[in-house]
A and B are shown apart, each in its own frame.
Chain A
Amino acid sequence: MNISVRYFASLRDRMGRADEALELDGDSATVSEIWAKVTDGQPIPDSTLISVNMEYTDADAVLKDGDELAFFPPVTGG
């Protein structure tokens, strides 16, 4: 399956990229599994926020083909 991953703000700086397209075996994967794949097994940093298709979710969420996953630090708007 194919998913896109986006990183914002300080997390993008730390990752060294703003987005990437992933092609994965199988037809589902959890957020944790994808994070481990893009970071070579690192844990998700504390306080990282996660969204799938622009809705907040958590590390246990299951992704399917075509989903847009995003990781970012706490929001500071307003």
Chain B
Amino acid sequence: MKVIVQQESFDPGQVIQEFQDALPRGKHGGVVSFVGTMRDFNDGEDVVSMTLEHYPGMTEKHIEQVCAEAAERWGIVDSLVVHRYGEMFPNDAIVLVAVWSAHRANAFDACRFIINYLKARAPFWKCETTTAGEKRWVEHNSKDPKAEVSDSEEVKRSA
């Protein structure tokens, strides 16, 4: 399990490959990854940039807890999370969650679990700059209508 919270931009494909190269050979049958990227719109307005603030120490601690919980529940081979803070621009990768597992079902479930709980628990806050130059805090993450069913099932399963 590795959790990295960094200011620098990153290439998700390269990070996944480098991490995988260091894993024991032949133990995983697949990797499932989720990459969250920055949109150029939110709440009906164009967004030109975004600054992410975090609570150093608490952020890493809670992502590590979520990854450890996923490892225990699904018996995955390994997991990697990279999350940026600071200023970013549309298309930039904000977060990467990658899970290696012997079989795909556990990797899919664990990856979804980690991103969902990261979004719910890791102390990050987005501040957007609109095309009008206005800076505004995002007070809640926008809902993903198709994720809601699976997320609520996930919460039920974990209860």
Pick the residue among B59, B119, B125 that contacts A9 (CB under 8 A).
B125
The number of chain A residues touching the other chain, given as a range, is 10 to 19
A73 to B61 alpha-carbon distance, docked (Å):
18
The number of chain B residues touching the other chain, given as a range, is 20 to 34
Binary interface encoding of chain A residues 38-77 relative to chain B, with 1 for a CB under 8 A from any of its CBs, else 0? 0000000000010100101000000000000010111111
A6 to B141 alpha-carbon distance, docked (Å):
23
Binary interface encoding of chain B residues 117-159 relative to chain A, with 1 for a CB under 8 A from any of its CBs, else 0? 0111111111100000000011111000000000000000000
Residue pair A51, B58 in contact (C-beta under 8 Å):
yes
Binary interface encoding of chain B residues 9-33 relative to chain A, with 1 for a CB under 8 A from any of its CBs, else 0? 0000000000000000000000000
| Chain A residues near B61 (CB-CB < 8 A) | 54
The reply to whether the CB of B36 lies closer than 8 angstroms to some CB of chain A is: yes
- The chain B residues found within 8 Å of chain A, CB to CB, are 36, 52-55, 57-59, 61-62, 83, 94-95, 115, 118-127, 137-141
